[in-house]
């Protein structure tokens, strides 16, 4: 058993090959306790394969993984006692009602008087807003209702780790909003590991992100780090107005003359001049960049700030870079 | 609610304990066994399935026995040329024994087909629909999953295909002949019949584990069933290994007759093969990717 209590999931060179196709290549991943870990990647990147490996539904071709220090292959049942799982396309027995499905799921974890199990089931139905459909057979459920039931059955055992495979993929905007809200609410009590390709959702709720492409991990970082850029340089966006071209040229010389300034690119539009200054020393830039520009009183700064990326930009850039290799 | 730390009791158990719930029993290879067995038995006994199965099997088996015991004598009084039909069908045995013999024969023939049809989907359907992956993402052992399929179907077929029609048959015999068939030898005969049905059940479940579609499963199991009855006429040795004459074994047990070596071998081989099918199914299912 692995003893690092702060780590919920840890994989070491986890690999999976289907015949000739390598679905997952030497995955090394760590998921910390109480994080909401977004697992991103295009279709076929290996996200569902990873999740199935973690749950012991498929066997690795190489490497190993632990959850709560238990080996996911050897101690799979022990692992699954503490995990809640929602599949990408959740399937249940069609003739059973939502209440029966949840009762059946709950009894894999608990025993006790029937009314206590029923109370737990009722609590879960309320959590996902399915009280009024509790006694309807599954075959009459819509995709969104199935997904909500999926979250309820994944949560029925108060899991220490919730694994969700594309939890919002088949939901309408309201349904997506509800799912994200439930995830945010659960953050205090559990660790959430979820795969998705809806990047807006990830940016909204995740604190850590891993990006997988063609079975290979290409990034794993706190989301704030990922959105801040590549870590080697920072870019500042500056918007200026000036009556005198000379003042602008002089300011440009002052800035580019600094050792920590890597590059300055300029565009002009409608009387406004926009600079993008790429720097290697963020602290120096924070201290001096604005001062250097404002040395000349003929220049007016309309906007000054560090450029922030959105996840979609980062994601696409990384995937494109990786695919062009 | 408090945030769980790993050095203490897991969060789920703390939360559940507050609600009066205890951790489920069964771990390792038995994890989830009780829950899954209750669900599988529920499919037999807590849905309308029990009624349809009861009606199907009593109609087929006891309807046929009733025809032999009541219908043929009545027919003979109208059509004297059919007078020897019952005697021929009962192979010269008195009606109470002849009816028991026919009961064993018809249960083996129709019951085997019924078991194959009922069990062919048990594993394949769960693999195809994704419910097996859902169940096995919970603390449920793969061995327990297969064992509950075997056990629930064994109980279901024992009750609906063998025991209930058997008891009705005893009633029919009593009504027709006023003779009581000794219960213990009759139950021993039922045990032989159950072994035959279990042979085909375990082979069908094994097929469901090995294949992803019904075609090969039905092909193999029906192939064994019909192949046995045809090939035994050409290769007698088959009867030493496969269940080709188990109704005869059951009748011999009821009559207290000694079994020839071939039939003893057949019973032992059927039991050994059934266990082998179960073991292979359990082993293979451990490694199946869901």
Percentage of chain A lying above the pLDDT 70 cut: 96
pLDDT at residue A299, as a whole number:
86
Decide: B254 and B193 in contact? Cβ < 8 Å. no
Strand partners, A137: A97
Query: What confidence tier does A48 reach under pLDDT thresholds 50, 70, 90?
Result: very high
CB pairs under 8 A between A and B: 116
Give the chain B residue nearest A82 (alpha carbons): B12
Residues in chain B: 290
Three-state DSSP class for A165?
A: strand
Give the chain A residue nearest B130 (alpha carbons): A91
Q: Which residue in the set B21, B129, B133 is minimally distant from A110, CB to CB?
A: B21
pLDDT at residue B6, as a whole number:
40
pLDDT at residue A99, as a whole number:
96
Stretch A201-221: mean pLDDT, rounded? 89
How far apart are the CA of A68 and the nearest CA of chain B, in angstroms?
8
Please indicate whether, in this complex, the C-beta atoms of B21 and A188 are within 8 angstroms of each other: no
How far apart are the CA of B269 and the nearest CA of chain A, in angstroms?
35
B128 at the A interface (CB within 8 A)?
A: no
Q: Which residue in the set A78, A82, A111 is minimally distant from B22, CB to CB?
A: A111
Contacts of A117 in chain B (CB under 8 A): 21
Stretch B96-111: mean pLDDT, rounded? 94
Contacts of A186 in chain B (CB under 8 A): none
Range name among A201-210, A226-235, B20-29, B81-90 with the lowest pLDDT average? A226-235
Please indicate whether, in this complex, the C-beta atoms of B6 and A81 are within 8 angstroms of each other: no
Contacts of A59 in chain B (CB under 8 A): 287, 289
| Long-range contacts at A277-283 (CB < 8 A, ≥ 24 apart) | A277/A235, A277/A236, A277/A238, A278/A233, A278/A234, A278/A235, A279/A233, A279/A234, A279/A235, A279/A236, A280/A232, A280/A233, A282/A234
Range name among A121-130, A230-239, B150-159 with the lowest pLDDT average? A230-239
Q: Which of residues 139-198 of B touch A (CB under 8 A)?
A: 139-141
How far apart are the CA of A279 and the nearest CA of chain B, in angstroms?
42
Three-state DSSP class for B159?
A: helix
pLDDT at residue B18, as a whole number:
60
Query: What confidence tier does A131 reach under pLDDT thresholds 50, 70, 90?
Result: very high
pLDDT at residue A318, as a whole number:
79
Strands (E), B68-197: none
Q: What is the pLDDT of residues B253-287, one digit of tens each?
A: 999 998 889 999 999 999 999 999 999 999 999 99
Helix runs in B211-260, H state only: 214-231, 238-241, 246-255
pLDDT at residue B4, as a whole number:
38
Residue B249 has pLDDT above 50, yes or no: yes
B42 at the A interface (CB within 8 A)?
A: no
Instruction: Give dist(CA A77, CA A59) in Å, integer.
Output: 14
A129: which 2 tokens?
């807003």
Stretch B197-206: mean pLDDT, rounded? 97
Residue with more model confidence, A44 or B211: B211
Instruction: Give dist(CA A291, CA A86) in Å, integer.
Output: 53
Residue with more model confidence, A178 or B146: B146
Please indicate whether, in this complex, the C-beta atoms of B24 and A107 are within 8 angstroms of each other: yes
**DSSP states along A230-272:** SSS-EEEEEEEEES-HHHHHHHHHHHHTSTTEEEEEEEEETTE
The mean predicted confidence, pLDDT, of chain B is 90
> Which domains are present in chain A?
7-227 (3.40.50.300), 234-306 (3.30.70.600)
Mutate to test the interface with A, among B7, B10, B12 (most CBs of A within 10 A): B12
Residue with more model confidence, B89 or B149: B149
The residue to which tokens 């390598």 are assigned: A22
Stretch B44-58: mean pLDDT, rounded? 94
Residue A277 has pLDDT above 60, yes or no: yes
The residue to which tokens 């996902």 are assigned: A128
pLDDT at residue A179, as a whole number:
81
pLDDT at residue A180, as a whole number:
84
Residue B58 has pLDDT above 90, yes or no: yes
pLDDT at residue A231, as a whole number:
56
Please state whether B24 falls in left (phi above 0), alpha (psi between -120 and 50) or beta: beta
Strands (E), chain A: 7-18, 21-32, 36-40, 62-67, 70-71, 83-86, 110-111, 161-165, 191-196, 208-213, 216-222, 234-242, 261-269, 272-279, 299-306
Please indicate whether, in this complex, the C-beta atoms of B130 and A87 are within 8 angstroms of each other: yes
Decide: B101 and B91 in contact? Cβ < 8 Å. yes
Residue with more model confidence, A230 or A76: A76
pLDDT at residue B206, as a whole number:
97
Please indicate whether, in this complex, the C-beta atoms of A159 and B12 are within 8 angstroms of each other: yes
Stretch A248-256: mean pLDDT, rounded? 90
Q: Tell me the pTM.
A: 0.84
Residue A222 to residues A32, A202, A205, A228, A312, Cα–Cα distance (Å): 11, 12, 12, 10, 15
Phi/psi for A30 (5° steps) reads -130, 135
How far apart are the CA of B50 and the nearest CA of chain A, in angstroms?
16
Contacts of B130 in chain A (CB under 8 A): 87, 89-91
Q: What is the pLDDT of residues B65-97, one digit of tens each?
A: 999 999 988 888 888 777 787 778 887 888 899
pLDDT at residue A200, as a whole number:
81
The residue to which tokens 């219908």 are assigned: B71
Residue B215 to residues A21, A166, B114, B208, Cα–Cα distance (Å): 28, 34, 16, 10
Contacts of A101 in chain B (CB under 8 A): none
Neighbours of A5 (CB within 10 A): 12
pLDDT at residue A230, as a whole number:
59
Q: Which residue in the set B21, B47, B134 is minimally distant from A112, CB to CB?
A: B21
Residue with more model confidence, A206 or B88: A206
Say what angle helices B183-210 and B214-231 make with each other, to 10 degrees. Answer: 130
Contacts of A108 in chain B (CB under 8 A): 24, 32, 35, 138-140
Give the chain A residue nearest B26 (alpha carbons): A108
B95: which 2 tokens?
């009606």
Query: What confidence tier does B7 reach under pLDDT thresholds 50, 70, 90?
Result: very low
How far apart are the CA of B115 and the nearest CA of chain A, in angstroms?
22
Q: Are strands A62-67 and A7-18 parallel, antiparallel or unpaired?
A: antiparallel
pLDDT at residue B5, as a whole number:
38
Most confident of A226-235, B3-12, B254-263: B254-263
| ipTM exceeding the 0.90 mark | no
Q: Are strands A83-86 and A208-213 parallel, antiparallel or unpaired?
A: unpaired
Instruction: Give dist(CA B145, CA B113) in Å, integer.
Output: 24
pLDDT at residue B1, as a whole number:
35
Q: What is the pLDDT of residues B152-172, one digit of tens each?
A: 999 999 999 999 999 999 999
Q: Which of A222, A311, A223, A220 is nearest to A27 (CA)?
A: A220
Q: Are strands A83-86 and A161-165 parallel, antiparallel or unpaired?
A: parallel
Neighbours of A1 (CB within 10 A): 9
How far apart are the CA of A51 and the nearest CA of chain B, in angstroms?
10
Three-state DSSP class for B212?
A: coil
Instruction: Give dist(CA A261, CA A282) in Å, integer.
Output: 10
Query: What confidence tier does B2 reach under pLDDT thresholds 50, 70, 90?
Result: very low
Q: Which of B6, B3, B9, B17 is nearest to A186 (CA)?
A: B3
Contacts of A113 in chain B (CB under 8 A): 20
């Amino acid at each position: 058993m692995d003893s690092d209590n702060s780590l919920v999931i840890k994989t070491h060179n986890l690999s999976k090959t289907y015949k000739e196709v390598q679905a997952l290549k030497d995955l090394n991943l760590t998921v910390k306790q109480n994080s909401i870990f977004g697992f991103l990647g295009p279709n076929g990147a290996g996200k569902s394969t990873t999740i199935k490996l973690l749950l012991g539904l498929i066997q690795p071709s190489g490497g190993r993984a632990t959850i709560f220090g238990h080996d996911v292959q050897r101690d799979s049942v022990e692992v699954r006692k503490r995990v809640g799982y929602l599949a990408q396309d959740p399937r249940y027995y069609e003739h059973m009602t939502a209440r029966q499905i949840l009762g059946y799921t709950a009894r894999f974890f608990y025993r006790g008087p029937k009314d206590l199990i029923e109370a737990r089931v009722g609590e879960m139905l309320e959590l996902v807003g399915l009280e009024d459909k509790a006694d309807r057979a599954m075959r009459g459920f819509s995709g969104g209702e199935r997904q909500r039931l999926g979250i309820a059955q994944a949560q029925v055992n108060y899991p220490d780790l919730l694994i969700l495979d594309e939890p919002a993929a088949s939901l309408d905007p309201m349904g997506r909003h509800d799912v994200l809200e439930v995830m945010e609410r659960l953050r205090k009590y559990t660790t959430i590991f979820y795969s998705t390709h809806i990047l807006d959702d990830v940016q909204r709720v995740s604190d850590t992100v891993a990006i997988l492409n063609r079975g290979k991990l290409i990034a794993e970082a706190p989301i704030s780090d990922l959105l801040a850029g590549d870590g080697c340089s920072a870019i500042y966006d500056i918007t200026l107005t000036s009556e005198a071209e000379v003042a602008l040229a002089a300011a440009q010389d002052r800035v580019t003359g600094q050792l920590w300034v890597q590059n300055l690119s300029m565009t002009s539009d409608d009387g406004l001049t926009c600079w993008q200054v790429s720097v290697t020393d963020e602290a120096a830039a924070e201290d001096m960049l604005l001062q250097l520009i404002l040395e000349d009183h003929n220049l007016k700064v309309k906007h000054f700030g560090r450029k922030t990326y959105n996840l979609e930009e980062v994601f696409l850039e990384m995937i494109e870079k990786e695919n062009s290799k | 609610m408090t945030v769980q730390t790993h050095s203490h009791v897991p969060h789920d158990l703390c939360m559940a304990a507050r609600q009066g719930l205890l951790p489920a029993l069964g771990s390792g290879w038995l994890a989830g066994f009780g829950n899954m067995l209750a669900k599988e038995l529920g499919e037999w006994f807590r849905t309308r399935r029990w009624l349809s199965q009861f009606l199907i099997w009593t109609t087929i088996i006891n309807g046929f026995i009733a025809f032999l015991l009541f219908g043929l004598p009545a027919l003979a009084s109208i059509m004297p040329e059919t007078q020897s039909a019952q005697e021929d069908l009962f192979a010269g045995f008195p009606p109470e024994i002849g009816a028991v013999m026919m009961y064993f024969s018809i249960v083996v023939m129709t019951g085997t087909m019924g078991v194959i049809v009922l069990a062919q989907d048990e594993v394949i359907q769960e693999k195809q629909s994704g419910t097996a992956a859902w169940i096995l993402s919970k603390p449920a052992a793969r061995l327990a999953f297969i064992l509950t399929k075997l056990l629930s179907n064994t109980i279901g077929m024992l009750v609906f295909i063998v025991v209930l029609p058997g008891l009705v048959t005893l009633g029919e015999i009593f009504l027709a002949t006023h003779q009581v068939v000794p219960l213990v030898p009759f139950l021993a005969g039922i045990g032989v019949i159950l072994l035959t049905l279990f042979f085909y059940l375990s082979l069908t479940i094994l097929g469901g584990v090995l294949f992803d579609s019904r075609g090969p499963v039905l092909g193999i199991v029906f192939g064994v069933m019909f192949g046995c009855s045809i090939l035994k006429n050409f290769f007698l040795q088959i009867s030493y290994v496969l269940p080709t004459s188990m109704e005869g074994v059951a009748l011999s047990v009821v009559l207290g007759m000694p079994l020839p070596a071939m039939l003893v071998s057949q019973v032992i081989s059927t039991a050994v093969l059934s266990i082998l099918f179960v073991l292979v199914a359990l082993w293979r299912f451990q490694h199946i990717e869901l």
